[in-house]
Amino acid sequence: MTDDTPQTPDAEVVELAGRLFDAARAGDAAMLAAYLDAGAPADLSNERGDSLLMLAAYHGHTAAVQTLLQHGAEADRANDRGQTPLAGAVFKGYDEVVAALLDGGADPAAGTPSALDTARMFGKDALVARFEGR
């Protein structure tokens, strides 16, 4: 017999997750590395499906993006709306983050809209050419 009762998250775990999400938004690569080295999941996601990598990319933090990728974060992990970190970085115009994500294996065709579609929508011809040339 299994218990299907929803479990209440442990307050300390929720607090830790909040600190990690804040570190990703703020670009605190050292703090992220310390927690990831201690066993925190690199693909931790919030209630909207935004991963640590998505938050770091969307806020333009190249070093945090690189740290997360080096610790095994999935480069193409989409949030609940189908958006990927690469598409977010394209939308925000963070060229260094785009480069870091591509170096980390991000696929410009992944997600909805994809990074390629986003670049097309916003007339970022250099990125369109770069993505199509991959």
Tokens standing for residue 46: 């919030």
Can you give the residue range of the structural domain that contains 104?
11-132
Could you tell me if residue 5 is inside a domain? no
Q: What is the dihedral of CA 30, 72, 55, 34, to 10 degrees?
A: -20
Q: Model-level pTM?
A: 0.90
Could you tell me if residue 110 is inside a domain? yes
pLDDT at 92: 96
CATH code of the domain in which 128 resides: 1.25.40.20
Q: What is the largest CA-CA distance in the chain?
A: 58
Could you tell me if residue 76 is inside a domain? yes
Could you tell me if residue 1 is inside a domain? no
d(CA 36, CA 40): 5
Could you tell me if residue 127 is inside a domain? yes
Q: How many domains does the chain have?
A: 1
Could you tell me if residue 115 is inside a domain? yes
Backbone phi and psi for residue 51, each to the nearest 5 degrees, phi listed first: -80, 170
Task: For the beta carbon of residue 6, count every other beta carbon within 10 angstroms.
Answer: 6
Express each pLDDT in 9-26 by its tens digit.
788 888 989 999 999 999
Could you tell me if residue 18 is inside a domain? yes
Could you tell me if residue 2 is inside a domain? no
Per-10-residue mean pLDDT, the chain, length 134: 67 90 98 97 96 98 98 98 97 97 98 97 96 88
